[in-house]
Amino acid sequence: MKKTILAIVLAATGLSFCVQRPSASANPLKQKATTNMSDSTTTTATATFGTGCFWCTEAVFQQLKGVVKVTSGYSGGGVDKPTYKQVCSGTTGHAECLNIEYDSSVISFDELLEVFWQTHDPTTLNRQGGDVGTQYRSVIFYHNDEQKQKAEKYKAELDKSGAFNDPIVTTLEAFTRFYPAEDYHQNYYNDNKNTNPYCSMVIRPKLDKFEKVFKNKIKGH
């Protein structure tokens, strides 16, 4: 019922359409591209979202038509070029997040917001599942006033509608700088789905739900 209400509210407002993770070891020999489509004539825009576990939602946004590139990284803190270990300590002010480059003629910021709201829990403060700390906060780093206004509008409408059982705690923060995460975090699900149990136990179920809801927006459909 809650998902039905959420879908209705998102449509009405103009939207069209992790447990603690096991440690990973960086492999400097792997240089995986996060580009999902390339076209030198495409004019891209950028959205930056924090949804807790970037391993989970990177795989979600990579599948969307119109998304050109998804990069996992860190933003919102006061430490330059932070490492994963530093961010995990919760002392840098940074959040794990995704920098999403997209073709706005194919997919809009509104549609990206729709996926954002539905693929993580925006009602748990500084927490996603078993991952706890400000580095896992739900956050939209807006790049301009239009993005800020749209995010504020949809957040207010969702709260008013009761789409979620609890109030939305997603923060809206002005984008300043994005720091890409270490190479082994990039394209994580695709590179590790056959070897890391976390991918099959945590990420794959999330992807299955996403693919059912957003089937018509996935590349290849």
Q: How many CB atoms lie within 10 A of CB 37?
A: 14
E strand residue ranges, the chain: 44-51, 67-75, 95-103, 127-128, 131-132, 138-142, 171-174, 178-180
Smallest Cα–Cα separation from 7: which of 118, 109, 112? Answer: 118
| Given 53, 56, 97, 199, the catalytic residue | 53
Q: List Cα–Cα distances, 22 to 46, 52, 136, 156, 196, in angstroms.
A: 30, 15, 16, 36, 9
Which value, to the nearest 10 degrees, does the dihedral of the CA atoms of residues 34, 39, 40, 44 take? Answer: -70
Count other C-beta atoms under 10 Å from residue 215's C-beta: 9
Active site residue 18: no
Which are the catalytic amino acids?
53
